[in-house]
Structure 1
Amino acid sequence: MEKRKIRWGIIGLGKIAHKFATDLATLENTELAAVASRNQQSADEFAQKYKVKKAYNSYAALAKYANVDAVYIATPHSFHKEHSILCLQHKKAVLCEKPFAMNLQEVTEMITVAKENKVLLMEALWTFFLPHFNYVLEIVKNEKFGKLKSLEADFGFHPIYNKNGRVFKKEVGGGSLLDIGIYPIFAALSTLGVPENIEAKASFFETGADSDCNMIFYYKGAKATLKSSLLEETKTEAIFTFDTAIVKINTQFHAPSTITIIEGKHEEIIDFGYRTIGYDFEAAHFNQLLREDKKESDVMTFEFSKNLIHTLDSIRNIIGLEY
C-alpha cells in the first residue's frame, strides 16, 4: 500500500529552513505545501525557490491552513514555545528546531499542550537520526569495545561580531550554549546519560550572551569534557574512549560525518556515503510517526528532551546566564 503523503509547512525562513526544505524534497510522498515569514516578500521568494503553493506573512495563517499535516518550526529559540503551541492548538503536528525552548518550564508547557490536543510533537535534534551517530550509539549499547570511559566533544566557530545578530542577542537565546553547546551536551546525554555532577565556566559578550562555555560532566566511572565557542574555530569532533578502543566522530560530528576507529596501532575510517545535507533522516522519522498515528517519538522522547533542557538550565545556573 502506498504511504500517505505528508504535507509540510515551515515557519521561519532562515538558513536552516532552506536546508530542511532542500532535504524534504528528497523524500517520497512528502510535499512542502506552505511556508510563512513575517515578511511577505521573503515568504514569496522562498516559496518560488522550492515550488511551494502557499506563502504567508502570518504564522497563524499557516497554522490554520487545512492542507498541512506537519509544521517545522525554525524561528529563533525564544519563539519556539509560542509558535509550537500555536500550531499544536490548530491540530498540526510539530517538529520544533532545537533547543526545544528556552527552559524546562516552557518545554513542559509545550508537551502538555501536545498531549491535550493529541498531536505529535518532537524536538528537531537531527544528529539523533544520522546513521553515523547511531553507529556509535550501537557500539556504546553493545559494549563492543568495553565500557565508555570518557567523551571529549567540542563545537566552535568564529562569526563576525554583530551585537544585532541572532547568535549574539541574549533575548532570543543567542550565545554559544543554546545554539551549539547543545550538541556536545547531547552527545554526552545520549551515550553516558544524565551526569551526577557538572562543572562549568563561561565568558560573555557585552550583549550578555555567552561567548564560550567549558563543561565537565562527571559520571560513575566516566567523564565528559565538553566545549562550545563563538570565539574560535574548533575541530568539532566527538572522541569516545572505551576500554579497548577509541572511536572518533570526525569534524562536524553533529552533521553527516565519518568515523575513525582506533584499536592499538590499527585505524579504520568508516564513510557512511551521505548524499544529502542530513535533515531528511529526522523528517523521514517524523513522517513515519505521523503515518502510524504516534504522538511521541520513540527516539527523541519527551523524557530525553526534558533531560536535555534541564541540563542546559543547570549549566546556565552555574555560569550565571539568565534570559
Structure 2
Amino acid sequence: MAELPTLSEIEQRYAQLEGQVLRTPTVQATSAKLADVLGFDLFLKLELFQHTGTFKARGALSVISTLTNAQKANGITAVSAGNHAIAASWAARKAGISAKVVMTRTANPLRIERSKAEGAEVILCDDIAAAFGEVQRLEKEEGRTFVHPFEGVNTTLGAAGVGLELMQDVQDLDAVIVSIGGGGLISGVAAAVKLINPNCKVFGVEPTGAASMSASRNANEPVTMDEINTIADSLAPPYSLPYSFALNQAFVDEVVTVTDDQICAGQALYQEELKLAVEPAAGATLAAALGPLRNKVAGKRHALIVCGANIDSATFASQIVRGQDHVAALLG
C-alpha cells in the first residue's frame, strides 16, 4: 500500500516551489446559460495560465527540485505526448540542467516546437513503445534521470499545489472535477482537497476511449488498456500505475467518462460562455459537469480544474466546429 501524502508535506513542497510556479487565479463563472443548468456557484481554477500552459510545470519542477548535484550534472529525460515534454524542458532550463525529451512523430507540432524553445533536445520516435525504449537508453547510457509524466510522490506533491490554492481561494466547496490522464493531477488535487475538507467530493473524468483509471478502479488494481482512441491526447496513457492509482482509490469519490463529442462541446462552451480557449483535457471537465455529473453538482459550490491550453489554432478550430454540433445535447 502506497504511503499517502500528508497536508504538511503538501504545504512544505508548495512553499519550496513558491515563486517558481505561478499561483493561478480562481474565478467564479458568470455565464447565464451555464447558470441555468449548473447555478452561479461554479468556480474555475485557471491552471491553463500556469508556466508552459498546463499544470504539468508544477510536477516537473517538483521532481527536479529533489535531484542531487550528480543527477543534475547528467540532466533529465522525459516521454510525453507534449504537455509534460514542454514542462520538463522548462523546469530543466530553470534548474540550469540539460533535457532530452522523447515524443512520438504524431505529437502536435506546436508542442514539439515549444519543447525545443525551452532548450530541450527533442527525439522523435515512431510509437510510444519505441519512445519509452529511447528513454531507457538515455537513462542507461547517459545517466539521465527520468521525470515521469504522472507517477510518483514528487509529481503528486507538485500537482497538489493546484488543490491547495483552490481550497484557499474558495471556501466551503462541495465538489471538484478533475480530468484524468495517468492520474498525476488528480492524485495531487484530491489529496489536498480531502486533507483540508473531507466532505468535499472529488470527481474524476476520462474520455470513453481512454478510461484506464475507470478500468483500474473496477479491477481494484492498475490495468493496461488494449486500445486507446480519443482526441484528448494528454488524457491518453494506456495504463494506470500503482502510486497514482492508490491515491485515486484513497481520495477520489467517483470517476466518470465522456465522449469525444462531449469533450468538443465542452471546449465550445468554454470558448463561447467562459471566454477560454482550452485543449480537450480541460474541455472534459465542463462536459462532465453538464453530463454525467450534473445531478451531483448542479446548484452546489463546485469547481472545475481548467488544466491546460496547449493547442494550435487549426486543431482548436476544428474541435470547436465539431463541438458546436453537440452543445445542445450536452446542455440538455
TM-score between the two structures when normalised by the length of structure 2: 0.33
TM-score between the two structures when normalised by the length of structure 1: 0.33
Please identify the structure whose Cα radius of gyration is greater. Answer: 1
Structure with the larger helix share = 2
Relative contact order, CA 8 A, sep 6+: which one is greater?
A: 2
